[in-house]
Structure 1
């Protein structure tokens, strides 16, 4: 499994699936969630309502169609809200593990992740990327069919954190700057 680090916008990634850092209700919101719903269009929300009438639990993942996004699917994950006292790191790791399990169910070969939890949910970028690497290692150990995991950092400071953390794993990196 190849890990690619990109500085950019998750909604512009031309991959099989993009990951949405959603809230439990899965009805849109701010940050990555708002961007996914805004660019994906009303089809994403309609699919969320249809597939997940009660939302998703923290640490879990589910998929919808991607609407107007360049990807085919959106894999939605619900990270723990550190600012609300949800500090169980295993739930953050579970977001990455579950997203890759869902990706395998869909036959995804390329997937793009944001830094789950690193926005309004209060996890540091370094904590999120460490959880990502742990989830990727678990997927590799179980024989995932995903060929490329792209970690998309929004902004150069986050990109530097991810590039440093992933760099030792032989990842390819590119910046949009």
Structure 2
């Protein structure tokens, strides 16, 4: 009987440990969402609302409409967003990419930009993704200072190549993606 009781106690402790861990993970997740995610979403919503209300959004959309409706224009947007000096400035929080993505999405919805350019446009406005995290990531990996000195510029310059390349790949991948079915 003592062996059965010991087994039940062991199982109870194991289940209690798992439940406690899951409960704490849930609390931490909710805390993170309340402290970080929701305020950031409110900030982005405010910025987008301000841009659309003031009419700046229309100016940006008209400027992007010509560029975002052709492959060369999307490549130009990608190259501008991937400029090594601009990438770390555009990257934090992906604020610029979210705003430009919203404006391009509205133009695609209105029919001013063909829908087949939506996938390449996504890659065109996002070559700077992760560029703000490169120094942090290298520091977390305890990289040597020389590695950081070489690694950060190397990744930034590689985005100038991989950004437009991803736009071209997305352009060809989007063939037939939005064909009308009858």
Q: Calculate the TM-score normalised by the size of structure 1.
A: 0.25
Say which one has the larger Rg: 2
Greater strand share, 1 or 2?
A: 1
Higher relative contact order (Cα pairs below 8 Å, separated by 6+ residues): 1
Q: Calculate the TM-score normalised by the size of structure 2.
A: 0.25
